[in-house]
Amino acid sequence: MNFYRIEETLIPCEQEDIFSCSVPFVAVMSPQEYLEHRDKFETRIDMEMDLSHVHDTKAVVNHDCLTGTLNVPDHECFREDKFKLAFILDGKGIVLIDADDYTHRQVEEIRNTRRWKLPSLERFFYDFLEETIKHDIPFLERIHANLDSIERSIMKGDIEEYPIQLNDIRSDLLDMYRHYEHLIDLAKELEENENGFFIEDNLRYFHLFAERVQRLQDHVMTLREYISQLRDLVSEQLTIRQNKIITFLTVITSIFMPLTLIAGWFGMNFTNMPSINSTVGYPLTIGASIVVVIVQLVWFRKNKWL
**Burial annotation 185-208 (CB, 10 A radius, 16+ → b, else e):** bbbebbbebeeebbeeebeebbee
Q: 262 versus 181: which is more confidently predicted?
A: 181
pLDDT digits (tens, 9 = 90+) for 227-243: 988 888 888 777 777 77
Mean pLDDT of 45-70: 77
Contact (CB, 8 A) for 51 and 82 = no
CATH architecture of the domain covering 251-302:
Up-down Bundle (1.20)
| Long-range Cβ contact pairs of 164-173 (< 8 A, separation 24 or more) | 166/227, 166/230, 166/231, 169/143, 169/223, 169/227, 170/224, 170/227, 172/78, 172/79, 172/143, 173/143, 173/220, 173/223, 173/224, 173/227
Question: What pLDDT shows up at residue 47?
Answer: 61
Q: To the nearest whole number, what is the mean pLDDT of the chain?
A: 84
pLDDT at 62 over 70: yes
Q: Please give the C-alpha separations between residue 183 and each of 38, 178, 271, in angstroms, as whole numbers.
A: 27, 9, 93
Question: What pLDDT shows up at residue 79?
Answer: 62
Mean pLDDT of 124-138: 93
Mean pLDDT of 6-20: 88
**Burial annotation 44-67 (CB, 10 A radius, 16+ → b, else e):** eeebeeebeebeebbbeeeeebbb
| pLDDT tier for residue 82 given thresholds of 50, 70 and 90 | confident
**Least confident residue range of 20-34, 53-67, 143-157:** 53-67
Question: What pLDDT shows up at residue 219?
Answer: 95
**What is 1-116's CATH number?**
3.30.460.20
Sorted by where each begins, the domain ranges of the chain are 1-116, 251-302
| pLDDT tier for residue 130 given thresholds of 50, 70 and 90 | very high
pLDDT at 35 over 80: yes
| pLDDT tier for residue 64 given thresholds of 50, 70 and 90 | confident
pLDDT digits (tens, 9 = 90+) for 239-297: 777 777 887 788 788 777 887 877 776 777 666 667 666 777 777 777 878 888 888 77
Number of Cβ atoms within 10 Å of the Cβ of 229: 11
Question: What pLDDT shows up at residue 160?
Answer: 65
Cα–Cα distance measured from residue 61 to residue 186, given in angstroms and rounded to the nearest whole number: 11
